């Protein structure tokens, strides 16, 4: 299910009464490029999309969640056990964003949670998270594992070649860039934890260190449960 990201970005911008030119200037792109993105004539790069959602004050899951299917038990009887879309997301309902330079994001089922953005990320041969080759940064923690192909990850002055099975984790406030310099498609699963309104960079910043010790956290699932309980308090 391909999303009309440009139209949604325009709707958000206009709802905040921001001019196209002021937003373009703030995120460092030309007004003509932003206009083309909003009208669907071109797709934004990963770095441009992050800059836009941060400036407009909307998270990626909020942007993609605008098109979350609202299924009822009666609508999903023949392919399962009657589970709602909070449990199962059909492949035909997977929100998809196709970006410039051969990058595709497909949002996996998140149960309506705002803890993390679970994504299948695909980089075509020659694809890059920044068309200009510039490193980007945003407030989040990025976790991922490559399941197909080969992908280059640049962080600060370091460069890593990721192969199937290789995983990574880093503070996305550090300048970084993904590039597929191979002749094969690269695909992986990403978990982007953190929202624009969140400023944490580690478990210490989340105030979870003591809780982890007290609650005897043993797995990533336990960590996410603690994070969810903290947000509800």
Place of tokens 């944490």: 200
Task: Among 38-47, 66-75, 215-224, name the most confident range.
Answer: 38-47
> 145, 188 in Cβ contact below 8 A?
yes
Q: Residue 232 — left, alpha, or beta (φ > 0 → left; ψ -120 to 50 → alpha)?
A: alpha
Tens of pLDDT, residues 149-170? 999 999 999 999 999 999 999 9
Residue 85 falls inside a structural domain: no
Query: Are residues 55 and 166 both part of a single domain?
Result: yes
What pTM was estimated for this model as a whole? Answer: 0.64
Query: Are residues 139 and 179 both part of a single domain?
Result: yes
Tens of pLDDT, residues 182-209? 999 999 999 988 753 443 434 444 444 4
Q: What pLDDT is stored for residue 186 in this prediction?
A: 97
Contacts by 50-58, CB closer than 8 A, 24 or more apart: 50/136, 50/138, 51/27, 51/136, 52/9, 52/23, 52/27, 53/196, 54/138, 54/139, 54/196, 55/23, 55/26, 55/27, 56/9, 56/12, 56/13, 56/16, 56/18, 56/23, 57/16, 57/196, 58/12, 58/196
Query: Are residues 155 and 226 both part of a single domain?
Result: no
With cut-offs at 50, 70 and 90, classify the pLDDT of residue 175.
Answer: very high
Tens of pLDDT, residues 78-101? 444 444 446 888 888 888 888 877
Indicate the number of domains in the chain: 2
Residue 198 falls inside a structural domain: no
Instruction: Report whether pLDDT(233) > 80.
Output: no
Residue 84 falls inside a structural domain: no
Q: What pLDDT is stored for residue 217 in this prediction?
A: 43
> 172, 202 in Cβ contact below 8 A?
no
Domain that holds residue 34: 5-68+90-193
Residue 55 falls inside a structural domain: yes
Query: Are residues 12 and 58 both part of a single domain?
Result: yes
Q: Report the distance separating Cα 166 and Cα 145, nearest Å.
A: 6
With cut-offs at 50, 70 and 90, classify the pLDDT of residue 222.
Answer: low
Q: Report the distance separating Cα 168 and Cα 160, nearest Å.
A: 10
Average pLDDT of the residues of the chain: 76
Query: Are residues 174 and 225 both part of a single domain?
Result: no
User: Average pLDDT for residues 128-134, to the nearest whole number?
Assistant: 82
Residue 101 falls inside a structural domain: yes
With cut-offs at 50, 70 and 90, classify the pLDDT of residue 46.
Answer: confident
User: Average pLDDT for residues 169-190, to the nearest whole number?
Assistant: 95
Residue 143 falls inside a structural domain: yes
């Amino acid at each position: 299910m391909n999303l009309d990201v440009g139209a949604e970005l325009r709707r958000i911008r206009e709802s905040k009464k921001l001019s196209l030119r002021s937003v373009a200037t703030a995120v460092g792109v030309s007004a003509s490029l932003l206009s083309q993105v909003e009208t669907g004539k071109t797709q934004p790069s990963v770095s441009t999309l992050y800059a836009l959602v941060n400036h407009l004050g909307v998270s990626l899951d909020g942007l993609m969640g605008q098109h979350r299917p609202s299924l009822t038990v009666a609508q999903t009887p023949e392919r399962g056990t009657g589970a709602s879309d909070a449990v199962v997301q059909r492949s035909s309902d997977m929100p998809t964003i196709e970006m410039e330079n051969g990058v595709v994001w497909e949002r996996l089922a998140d149960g309506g949670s705002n803890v993390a953005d679970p994504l299948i990320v695909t980089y075509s041969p020659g694809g890059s998270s920044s068309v200009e080759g510039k490193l980007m940064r945003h407030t989040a923690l990025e976790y991922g594992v490559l399941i197909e192909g080969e992908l280059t990850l640049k962080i600060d002055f370091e460069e890593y070649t990721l192969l199937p099975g290789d995983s990574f984790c880093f503070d996305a406030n550090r300048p970084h860039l993904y590039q597929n310099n191979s002749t094969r498609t690269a695909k992986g699963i990403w978990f982007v934890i953190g929202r624009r309104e969140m400023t944490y960079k580690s478990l210490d910043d989340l105030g979870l260190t003591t809780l982890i010790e007290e609650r005897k956290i043993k797995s990533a699932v336990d960590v996410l449960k603690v994070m969810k309980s903290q947000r509800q308090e």
